[in-house]
Amino acid sequence: MFNWGLTIKIIEEGCERVMINFVTTDVSHFRFDEYRREIIDYDGEEKNVVIPSHIDGMEVVSIGPDAFWNKGLTSVILPPTLSVIGFYAFAFNELKEVRIPKSVVLIEDGAFMHNKLEFLRLGKDLFSIPYAGFCHNRLSKIVLPENVQEIHPDAFGHNPIKELVFEGLPTFIHRPAFNLGIDDMGQVTVSGVGASDLRSLLDHHAKYVDTFRALHASRQ
């Protein structure tokens, strides 16, 4: 069962603006905490989920920890009212692409780990990328928005990364943020703001990653 109720504006790379009306998944399948205005569980059978912007007249501002963990989702559309995506909220699904609304200011650890993401668009107001937030996916190109200041360990680990684009200059990139060794970095292009310095930093991080891998392997 579905109902109408979500309009999303998509701005693609060519700057063309498209208004699309999506059919939102029936609200009866979402367990909603009205006090926190947070979805805390999903019990529907539909695997292509459109999360509503309002439930019972209240804005949906948060997706709670584990809310969509291991639900077999193949696609999800997030509402423009969303501010927070909780711990492991969409982990262990079959998602191939995700667009994070610009309203989202916080994504917590492991939120999208272990999916099949090939496309990711991060919101412009994100300050940090969390630990293991997007690890174990299929991302070959990652674009980091201008306001991102910190990229935590393993944020993008275990992805077939070939291109990194920095729209701003992060304050702190943890050494295993991308989990790329020296050979891996040889296949990666780095572009955008401060590309040369960031390339040098990531090449330095790659030496640490290789050392860590070698130490880990020696203890197996």
Which of helix, strand or coil describes residue 18?
strand
Could you give all domains of the chain from N- to C-terminal order, each with its CATH number? Answer: 2-218 (3.80.10.10)
Instruction: Tell me: pLDDT of 110 over 90.
Output: yes
pLDDT in tens, 123-167: 999 999 999 999 999 999 999 999 999 999 999 999 999 999 999
Q: 82 vs 14, 102, 141, CA distance in Å? A: 25, 9, 25
The pLDDT mean for the chain works out to 91
Q: 134 vs 15, 146, 170, 179, CA distance in Å? A: 26, 18, 18, 12
pLDDT in tens, 30-67: 999 999 999 999 999 999 999 999 999 999 999 999 99
- Which helix (H) or strand (E) covers residue 201, if one does? helix 195-218
Q: 17 vs 9, 66, 77, CA distance in Å? A: 7, 33, 17
Model-level pTM? 0.89
